[in-house]
Structure 1
Amino acid sequence: MRFFAHRGVMARHPENTMTAFRAALEAGADGIEADVHMTKDGKLVLIHDETIDRTTDGQGRIADMTLSELRAVNAGVTFAVHEQIPTLDELIDLCQGTSVVLNLEVKTDIERYPGIEQRLVDTIRNRRVPVEQIVFSSFNHATLKRLKRLAPDIECAVLLAQPLYDLVAYCAKVGATAVHPNVRTMTDEEILQLQTEGLAVRPYTVKTVHDLERFRRLGVDAVFVNDIDWAKAHSTP
């Protein structure tokens, strides 16, 4: 079972920052999950919310701000340090030459960011990131369908916060080969059925030893955790 760092090592560092991403690499994470938005001037930035209000010392919608404006705020206030909101290019630079998987969650479930799918695929292609190191995920499954049409060789994963009827057929229709469910969304039997059908399952966000052991027993492909060192220390070999 692999460990993906949820927004980097967010338990110890400001989420979705270069420090959190570097900590994930240093801890030996198999993957790094980051949330992708698009600025007013078409730049891809990594931050969870549609606004900067919660995680920075500024205010406003990302869609209304330029990269330069976003760079002026402090994204490390929750840990009383100074951090900038990073770009996708910076995360790619950090992980260049490693085998770490980049799970890019495209945040179009509230803001649609017209053109973000093409911009995202162009960035991956232009930066020559190996396709086996990229997973696109989103709660907006129309975004996944568009991404799959633009880049059929890159894996797409359906994010789920609640059960969905006939999930196997639904994934086939969307073009997804993986499911990323909330830790409470699926029963053991449902997870095993997905795996039998060839779908990778990667639950989010695992915070208890009980859940670590549950998903290891079920043989899921990976779990998303807030602290890689904690997950490794509490995992049965």
Structure 2
Amino acid sequence: MNLSDAALLVAAGLAAGTVNAVAGGGSLITFPALIATGLPPVPANVTNSVSVFPGYVASVAGSRMDLPRGRQLWSLLPTTIAGTIVGCLLLLATPARAFEMVVPFLVLGATAVLAFQDPLRRLVGHPADLSPRRRTVAVQSMVALGSVYGGYFGAALGVMLVAGLALVLDTTLARVSAVKNLLSAAVGLTTLVVFALFGPVDWASAVVVAPATVAGGYLGARLVRRLPAMVLKTVIVVFGTAIGLYLLWRALR
């Protein structure tokens, strides 16, 4: 790795950490940067998943005051870990082409869910009107789907988690974002363990990217707390749409 490659990875890590904390999708910055340094796609994807984990931890630290209290939050972690392992195994065991064609529509669909959150809530029911059991099943299902996606690809994981959780949680978007950060960190830790044991990680690149994601993740999480809910929602919707269209273009070219 030469000096220009290292500088590119540091800049990409800083930007990705910030974007992941605010809206999600920072992996679409670090993944192309890793490709640009000469890594093949699969090692780049695996290395990217390992590299962004410290940034997720920093995001949790920056948004910890907005995390809800109680056992319900921690009950989501086993589902997150199990779903992530399934996603990691899919990545290591199956061809990526078919999933690459599905991913853009998943991202665009998740973004649409967030954009039309209020009409959808009127259609499926507001979280406050659901029975505790139905609400628990809905939250666990959203987390499971997001975790499988995060283990397989990871890019736009934050967008998908925010969109799903905002639909089934009766709380502010800042608190939803804080929960997203915690679950993203759990996904990141699980992928780190699985790929460190079984994946083709380029550790030199990971060591360069990871510290930069820490600084960006903490700063981004602090920024979320200062943004009005409508501004934050607009940022996530716009960024999610851009990510989905970019992934669709890349899959079809």
Query: Normalised by the size of structure 2, how large is the TM-score?
Result: 0.29
- Which structure ranks higher in relative contact order (CA pairs < 8 Å, sequence separation ≥ 6)? 2
Report which of the two has the higher share of helix: 2
Q: Which has the higher strand share?
A: 1
